[in-house]
Amino acid sequence: METKQEHIMTPWIDRRRYAAGYAGKSFNSDSIDSEYQRDRARIIHSSSFRRLQSKTQIFSIGDSDFYRTRLTHSLEVAQIGSGICEQLRQRYADDPECSTWIPSLSLIEAICLGHDLGHPPFGHGGEVALNALMYAHGGFEGNGQTLRIIGRLGEYSPEHGLDLTRRTMLGLLKYPVLHNEVAGYGEEMQAISSNIDHAKPPKCIHDDEADVLAWILAPLTEQDRQGFRAFKRVPGKHAKSMHKGFDTSIMELADDIAYGVHDLEDALALELVTERQWREQVMSRVESLPESPLNTQAEFYNSKLFSGSDRDRKHAISKLVAYFIGNIAIREQDGFASPLLRLQAEMQGEARQLLDILKKFVLDEVIRHPKVQALEFKGQQMIMRLFVTLLENPDRLLPPTYLAQFHESGRSRRVICDYIAGMTDLHATRLYHRLFSPDIGSVFDRL
């Protein structure tokens, strides 16, 4: 007999392939969590997940064997996400609603492992390049491509991609708005230039996935659906979505911690930032945060992070991660009936301020470093030239599977976009050289 908890969870373990609910054999048991174990397995075994090992996080693939790729980043986000859920489960053990809806480890790991599946080669630079060619055709955004992979392109189901449960897909839905609803490009989009910063996409999903979005949100009330999809207009800029789901809020915190702390670790290990920069731009700012560990234990962190020892640096990084996880709580936001929207994970007080300081430091001193920007620029130019060339010469250059889609789908640009977005950095570079470098390339070379 179905319990009350199983009843309220049932719509969220549905899969699109089974419109009336999944009635097949369970993955490892008859528990609800077995369905999330299935989701996690499908993500781990997908080609999109494997390709993350050769996609840029910050530094170019091949520069070193130490720093993080999108794959190792995703593994760390999953580990941090699991830690957040364990901490919340203990903190809210006496709260029936929170205890019911805090995601299981299988569920949060599936969401965290899958959160970067849609990122194209060359990181956010590649994302801007593809959107520069797709903004008038439904747009391109990395998180939107993640939804496209799990809901349409993944290899498990011919029509429904990886065919994940509805709740896992909701957790991966960072921005529940369509490109055409929030796009606000300026007149620069009409100009021809090598500088394509004006082509940065809005945070959204592609117009092509409107039906997938509708399916994910179907169990919600009409009021919840409308409220969840609300966005805020910003004069002269893209509009911004206003809400995210409970599971998504946990995943995004884990992603922020990995970005602010672990990407900082890469920069320290590769000596891209100096102790002087650290003291001037981080330590000077944390003086206003009296309870921050960088303030109360300043000498420990300064000495460990810049000792030159991997062991010392890792010790300090681990303590920072534990501090951030320990300062996450659940709040309720007004206006939603469903706990999956009403409950939100939130980092509190000084911990949030400290993480923002670390993220800004990584952005200013690492991501915006001229050497990193030069590599991003080069990747953008390669992607744009590949896109135009493939679009103009599909019969000569597209692989058979994509060529068939190109002629049959009626969305030729989207097919080219999917093909390039699925490439690793190495694949895109090799294809570029095969097509455009006179002395490189052979019919026997594998891409």
CB atoms within 10 A of CB 426: 15
Chunked into runs of 10 residues, the chain (447 residues) has average pLDDT values of 62 80 52 92 97 73 56 95 98 97 98 96 92 95 97 94 97 98 83 76 97 97 98 94 98 95 86 90 94 95 92 94 97 96 96 95 84 85 96 97 95 97 94 87 59
Q: Which pLDDT score, from 0 to 100, does residue 160 have? A: 95
Q: Between the CA atoms of 169, 172, 177 and 180, what dihedral angle is there, to the nearest 10 degrees?
A: -100
Q: Residue 46 in contact with residue 64, Cβ under 8 Å?
A: no
Residue 67's pLDDT is 52
Residue 192 has a pLDDT of: 56
- Asked if 113 contacts 168 with a C-beta cutoff of 8 angstroms, the reply is no
- Closest to 389 in 3D by CA, of 433, 353, 334: 433
Helix (H, G, I), strand (E, B) or coil at 231: strand
d(CA 232, CA 181): 11
Instruction: Answer yes or no: pTM beyond 0.75.
Output: yes
Other C-beta atoms lying within 10 Å of the C-beta of residue 210 = 15
217 near 225, Cβ under 8 Å? yes
**Domain 4-243 belongs to what architecture?**
Orthogonal Bundle (1.10)
Task: State which H helix or E strand residue 37 sits in.
Answer: helix 32-44
Joined together, the tokens standing for residue 392 give 């103009």
Q: Tell me how far apart the alpha carbons of residues 360 and 365 are, in angstroms, rounded to a whole number.
A: 8
Retrieve residue 64's tokens. Answer: 């070193």
Name the DSSP letter for residue 441.
-
Strands 343-347 and 240-241 come out as unpaired
DSSP state of 60: P
Q: How far apart are CA 255 and CA 75, in angstroms?
A: 10
Residue listed under structure tokens 């030159």: 308
Neighbours of 86 (CB within 10 A): 14
Phi, psi for 231 (deg, rounded to 5): -140, 160
Give dist(CA 186, CA 189) in Å, integer.
6
Instruction: Please give the radius of gyration of the chain, using alpha carbons only, rounded to the nearest integer.
Output: 22
Reduce the DSSP state of residue 415 to 3 states and report it.
Answer: helix
CA distance 275 to 277: 5
What is the spatial distance between Cα 160 and Cα 208, in angstroms, rounded to a whole number? 13
In the block, residue with structure tokens 């364990």: 86
Please report the DSSP string for 337-403 in residue order.
SSHHHHEEEEE-HHHHHHHHHHHHHHIIIIITSHHHHHHHHHHHHHHHHHHHHHHH-HHHHS-HHHH
Nearest residue to 125 (alpha-carbon basis) of 48, 201, 202 = 201
* Residue 296: both structure tokens together: 């109360």
Tokens of 240: 């911004």
Contacts of 23 (CB under 8 A, 6+ apart): none
CA-to-CA distance for 151 and 213, rounded, in angstroms? Answer: 9
Give the type of residue at 324. Answer: F
Return the pLDDT at 22: 47
Q: Residue 1 corresponds to which tokens in the numbers above?
A: 């007999």
What is the C-alpha separation between 364 and 212, in angstroms, rounded?
A: 37
- Ordered by start, the domain boundaries in the chain are 4-243, 247-370, 380-436
**How far apart (Å, rounded) are the C-alpha atoms in residues 434 and 302?**
47
Residues sharing a CB contact under 8 Å with residue 40, sequence separation 6 or more, in sequence order: 106, 109, 110, 113
Q: What's the pLDDT at 438?
A: 82
DSSP 254-315: HHHHIIIIIHHHHHHHTT-S-HHHHIIIIITTGGG-TT-HHHHTHHHHHHHHTSS-HHHHHH
